[in-house]
Amino acid sequence: MDLDDEDLKTLTTVTNDFEGSAIVSALEAEGIRARAVGGYTAGFRAEAPGSVSVIVAEADLERAKKVLDELRRHGAEVDWSQVDVDRPEDVA
């Protein structure tokens, strides 16, 4: 069954497509069907800010909230000052 066939609920709203896609991937890894919508307008550079909503089937909403809470709690534990993100080489 496709998400289009179900009652959909917004799980969360974020400011960019990258974060929305990461949340969708984490939910799908837990067997929860999800979709990020609004990505085309979130990256638009104008005075009005855009957003990306992550939507799930209403039947999956409570489980999705738990997964999102765990994802955010785990992500907050990352000390990004200790992560090697590899600096680009200087271009001559």
- pLDDT single digits (tens) 51-73: 889 999 999 999 999 999 988 88
The answer to the question of residue 85 being in a domain is: no
- For residue 15, the model assigns a pLDDT of 85
The answer to the question of residue 41 being in a domain is: yes
The answer to the question of residue 76 being in a domain is: no
What's the predicted TM-score (pTM) here? 0.71
- The total number of structural domains that make up the chain: 1
Domain that holds residue 58: 3-71
> Is 58 in contact with 9 (CB distance < 8 Å)?
yes
CATH of the domain at 27: 3.30.70.1530
Of the two residues 40 and 29, the one the predictor is more confident about is: 29
The answer to the question of residue 77 being in a domain is: no
> Is 46 in contact with 14 (CB distance < 8 Å)?
no
The predicted-structure confidence for 7-25, as pLDDT tens digits, reads as follows: 999 999 998 888 888 899 9
The answer to the question of residue 48 being in a domain is: yes
